Amino acid sequence: MPGLPCSTCHQSANSPTTAGPNAPPGAPNWHLAPKEMVWVDVSARDACLRLRDPGSNGGKDLAQLRHHFAEDKLVAWGWQPGGGRSTPPLTQAQTVAAVEAWIDAGAPCPAG
C-alpha cells in the first residue's frame, strides 16, 4: 500500500502458508535494499566493484561484508523465503565460503 510503512505488511517472519502464495514476505528488520544495490543488467565486473566499494555496499568493509552474508538475518531469509519463492543457486554456507575465498584472494574482480 503506497504511503504505509513496510512493516504494515512485512513482519519479522513470513506470513503463515494459510495466507496464500503471494503473502508478504517477512524477516527481522525487513526493508528493501538501497537503490545503489539494484544491479539488474550489471556485468560481473561492475557487480564485483560495487560489492567491494563501501560507497555502494551499505558502508561495509570486507569483514563486514562477510558478516553480512554469514549472519545478517534479513540476508539469510533469501535461503528460506517460504511462499513458494525461489532460492539462490548456492546454499548460504556455499555462498559464505565463496565470499570468504574471494576476500582471502584479495577481493579480485574480473577484467572488464
**Model confidence pLDDT, tens digit, residues 40-59:** 889 999 999 999 999 888 89
C-alpha cell at 67: 558478516
pLDDT at 83: 80
* pLDDT band per the 50, 70, 90 thresholds, residue 2: confident
User: Which amino acid, residue 33?
Assistant: A
Question: Residue 60 has which C-alpha cell?
Answer: 561495509
pTM for the structure as a whole = 0.82
Task: State the first-to-last Cα distance of the chain, in angstroms, to the nearest integer.
Answer: 41
